[in-house]
Structure formats: C-alpha cells, structure tokens
Amino acid sequence: MICILLVAGHDTVLQAQLKNDDTGLYGHLTGVPKALLPGVGGKKILDFWWETVNTRQLFTEVYLVTNADKYKHYERWATANDFPVENLVNDGSTTLEDRLGAVADLELAIRSRGLKDDIMVIAGDMLCADQNFDIAQVVRFYRSKPGDLVIYYELEESEKSDSRGIVQVCPDTHRITCFLEKPPEGQTLSRLASVVFYCLQKETLPYLSEFLSKTQEISARTMGKFWEWFINIQEMPVFGMKLPTGFQLIGQVGLSEYAKWLAHYSAKQREPPVKPITCRSFARVGLMGNPSDGFHGKTIAMSISNFWAEVTLLENQTLVLLPHPLNDPTEFGSLQDLYHISRKEGYLGGLRLLQATCKKFYQFCSKQGIALRKQNFTLKYDTNIPRQVGLAGSSAIVSATLKCLMKFYNITDNDLPKPVRANFILNVETDELFITAGLQDRVVQVYEGLVYMDFSKQLMDAKGHGEYIGMNMDSLPPFWLAYLGDPSDSGRIHSNVRQRWLNGETEVIKAMKSFAELTDQARLAIQSKDWAMLAQLMDKNLELRRSIYTDDCLGPGNLKMIQIARQFGSSVKFPGSGGAVIGLCLDPDQMVEMKKAFQEAGCVFCNIIPYDPSRP
C-alpha cells in the first residue's frame, strides 16, 4: 500500500488573519503553511501524520502533494524530518484561483509517479484529537472488506453537520449507503462525519480521472464531492470505519477556529489519566420460562442486588489482568488445601472471563470497523455470587468487564446496542470458553431489572436477537432464594435435552412451547399483581422441567430443596441451571419456619432484594 498526504490547499483566510493579528500571539506564524502550524502536543500537524504513516510494514512509499507557493517550506521540512524529497509532488498552483482541487492533486500524484497500488489518502493539515489511534488497525479492516474505505467519527455536540461530509452506514455490513457533502440542517439524522482519510483500491483509481472529466468547476473537485458521486451515483462498494476521536481540517478556517480546536484537543491530551472505572453487574433469577431461552422460548428474569460481580479498570502502561485472591488461587496452605479447594470450586476462576472478554472485544471492534486508541489498562474483579448454583456468576463478570471496556474506549450504545451486547456476552462464554448457556442471563444483565424475553425463531432469524421488554417492579411479592452449601457444576443439569430438541423429539418441542405459554401467563399475573396465580405458574414451570430432564438428572441436592419448599406450602422452581431454588411464600409464618429448615439442611437462605435500575 502507498500513502499520499495532501497539503496543497491555499490557506488564504487563515494567513490573512495571521498577518492582521494584533494580540502578538500568532504573528510569528505568518507565511507558515497550514500543515506546518503547531498541532496537538506542540508538534507540527504534519509531523504527527508523518510519524503515523512512516512504517515500512504498512506502506512501501509515502508521497506528499503540495503547491508551488509553499513548496520550499515542505522541501525544508522534508530534509529536516527524513522524508524523501523526491516524493514531494508540486501541483504548480500559486493562488487559490489557480488551485487544482483535492481530487486533481491526488490524480496528479498517481499519474505522475505511475502508482498502481492500493492507496491511503490523508489530509496532512488535519488536527487529530487522539494521538494514539492504531493506523495498522485501519489497514487491517480495509483489507477485510471488498471495497474502498472512508474514515469517520461522531461529531461533538458543538459541531454542525452542514460543514462536513456526512455518511450513513449500514450497521451490519458497514457499507456506506449514502454520502452527503455538507448537507443542510435536517436533511439527515446522521452525526457521522467523514474526514480526508481514505483507503482506495487500485481498481478505483481510474474513477478519479472519470470524475474530473465530468467536473469542470474547480470548487467541486473535492474529495467529498467525489465520494458523493462514487457512492450515491455509481453505487460502488465503499465501507466506513469509525475512529474514537475528533478531526478538524485547518483548510479555509479562520484563526479563531484554528485556535479554538487546537486548545480543545490539546486540553484533552493534558487531561490526567482516566480515573478508575468500576462497573457492576448483578446476579439474576429466572422467574418463569427457563430454560426455554435456549430453545426459542420465552422467559421472565430479574436482577437481584443480593449478589453482584464488580470489575475495575485502571489506565496502565501495559495490559495486566489481576487474578482474584480467592477465585484464582496460585498459593495453597498444603496439598490437602489444594485438594479441597479444587474439589469444591473447580479449576476455572474469573481470570479466563476477563481475558476472553478483552479478546472478543478487540475482535468485535475490528470487525465492526471501530478503531481503538493504543492505550493499556489493568483489570481486576470481585464477586460475591455463589459459584455453580446457576445465578449467572460467569456472565456477570463478563458483563461488568464489557461495561468497563466500553467506557474506557468510548464505545457508545450506537456502536454496541443492548441486544447485540447480550449476544456478545453469550458468545464470549459459548465460543471462547465453551460454557453451556442461553441468552436469558445476558439479556437481563444488560437491560437490568425485571425483563420479559421472547426468543422465538422468527425474531431470532429476522433480527439476530429476541424481543426484550422491561416490566414494572413496583410492589413485587417477597421472593426467596436458597442454594446448596456444597454445589456441583450447575451445567450438568442441561443433560441431553438439547440434542433431543435438535433431533425434533415431540416431547421436548412441546415442552418448550409450554414454557413460553407459562411465561405469557406469568407476565399477565405480574401486571395484575396476582401473586397466587404467579406462585401456581412457578410450580407448573418446575414440574414441566422435571418431566423432560428427569429427577435422576436433577440430583438429590436439588430434589431435597424442592421437598423443603413444598413442605411449607411455598411455590418453588429453579432460578437457573441447578444448585439453587427460588420460591414465593405468601404466608410469613411459614416463611420463617422454611428458612430454618433450609439452614438445618445445610443450605443458604435469603430474601431476594430485586434490583430496579430506575431507582437510585
């Protein structure tokens, strides 16, 4: 690939104001080309771009196109910065009136140097807010797409779309569906602004000449007008990649604009290291319909504030994942101690979840065309969610980690919408770590609160996700939770039901439809606050589950908890995949006695505290 830096514009407005500056602050810059003006961090604007692209691993050659009026300035800059002087291209123009236009300048460099390779084009007079973005990631994304590439960023609130090229991007394919050069206010809702930063396939280069032959007016020979013609009229495949930073072309702006944006971006660079970011995700209980979330069913689940996972991210020179002293032990009191800890808690702590989430996050952003700045961090986690009792402890750690990464890299809800976020968390566990799981837990941990979920095949096939609806949490009844003090792996309860479902076994197919019907009935019961009906439906959910999984699969510990709950007239069901039970006991006195019975049986018992995200 070859890189071409464009700096041939005539900065007449800025130079006129520099000459007339009476503050004494900018007089020394009179006559200095715009690309050689001070940029962010004190270095010249062009110095930053030359440092960015000066890598033989990415570019075989770098060319710079300038005008005759400022050629000597750039020649002097080239010799001082080890830029090959022979790669300077002089377009011959000396004034704004005889300029060639950006497209003609680019075509001149390609034609005069006989270039027949893919080309990256960058405006060398462009201020960049973030000096740490990874240009190699841009090249990798470009090479993954069957077309050209346009870089864009999200406008800040103070920026107007009518002064920039605005793109509309398909969120699935990342193809640019429309390019609007400086659209009037209200023409588009998009706030995604293109900058002079592109990758062109060698097959695209002849189109530059074709565009010039059709465009006689010099003022229309801009890169924005070219893309408007190439994308909207020619309907050629061009893709978009988002950089998490702002850009400002010095171009024809005045002194006040240049000074404003330089100060704004410089202030961002001087900001202290990012404060520690701490995010929390809560355990969840399935109230109805589980485990049909993995079988195109429907469920209702609720976040509970009794248990949570918390992840903290701190900016750092290197990327460090800190093991948890309890969940990722590396030191033991004795061989016997190691034996007991391994027997009870297994070999897999939370560190693998942090690592898998980071790996998947980078992979997602690369695939989605979101360039991440080169900035490292330390991640650590804590959790009080009981292990192996089916309360979504693993996904809570993944969810909290993802929240931290999104905040650190300024990834918005538009970049990673909530339904896609739930899929992401599931994929971390199933694709990377081979954990048996369904979408329910990840959805409720993303949306939080009390959530109704429809995973019908029609929705999943059409949208890639289900329908997720938050429910009112006012005046919920007193749910309780009990779990085994010495649980086994909760994943074992899934047994061979999935294979039977895939085989089309009538009993399993019918059961999953029944789970969905129970969920719809439970939704109505919750909305009408008919708690007696809800309790009956919870019991039906359990019996339906027992009918297809069998008691042998459920195991003696789970069956014992069911027996205790029913002994005291409480409804009961599994909140997850096993190891814990949830119930609804409407008799306070019986609740007290039931709690004692669970504790005497070696179980942990607690009253559920629902987590309502709408309340502080």
pLDDT one-digit tens code per residue, 253-310: 677 777 777 787 777 665 566 789 999 999 999 999 999 999 999 999 999 999 999 9
Cα–Cα distance, 161 to 415 (Å, whole number): 19
Q: For residue 506, what are the CA distances in angstroms to 297, 331, 495, 509?
A: 15, 51, 17, 5
Q: Is 604 helix (H, G, I), strand (E, B) or coil?
A: strand
- Look at residue 252 in the predicted model and tell me its pLDDT: 60
Q: What is the DSSP string of 110-154?
A: HHHTT--S-EEEEETTEEES-TTB-HHHHHHHHHTSSSEEEEEEE
- Look at residue 447 in the predicted model and tell me its pLDDT: 97
Cα–Cα distance, 191 to 186 (Å, whole number): 11
Residue of 13, 18, 42 lying closest to 32 (CA atoms) = 18
Name the residues annotated as catalytic: 441
- Look at residue 145 in the predicted model and tell me its pLDDT: 94
- Look at residue 269 in the predicted model and tell me its pLDDT: 64
Q: Could you say which DSSP state residue 614 is in?
A: T
Give the sign of the dihedral formed by CA 199, CA 201, CA 202, CA 206: negative
- Look at residue 392 in the predicted model and tell me its pLDDT: 93
- Look at residue 17 in the predicted model and tell me its pLDDT: 74
Cα–Cα distance, 574 to 333 (Å, whole number): 36
- Look at residue 491 in the predicted model and tell me its pLDDT: 39
11: left (phi over 0), alpha (psi -120 to 50) or beta: beta
Cα–Cα distance, 557 to 503 (Å, whole number): 30
Q: Could you say which DSSP state residue 26 is in?
A: S
Cα–Cα distance, 284 to 293 (Å, whole number): 14
Q: For residue 322, what are the CA distances in angstroms to 84, 281, 333, 346, 535?
A: 46, 19, 21, 19, 43
Distance of alpha carbon 585 from the chain centroid: 41
Q: Are the C-beta atoms of 579 and 558 separated by less than 8 Å?
A: yes
pLDDT, averaged in runs of 10, over the chain (616 residues): 93 72 73 84 87 92 95 95 96 92 96 96 86 84 96 86 89 93 89 93 96 93 96 96 78 70 71 83 96 94 98 95 92 92 83 96 91 90 93 96 95 92 96 89 97 96 95 95 76 70 94 97 97 97 93 88 96 93 96 96 96 87
pTM over 0.85: no
- Look at residue 435 in the predicted model and tell me its pLDDT: 84
- Those residues whose C-beta lies under 8 Å from the C-beta of residue 515, and which sit 6 or more positions away, are 289, 290, 291, 292, 295, 297, 298, 299, 541, 544
- Look at residue 96 in the predicted model and tell me its pLDDT: 85
Expressed in angstroms, the distance from the first to the final Cα of the chain is 53
- Look at residue 148 in the predicted model and tell me its pLDDT: 97
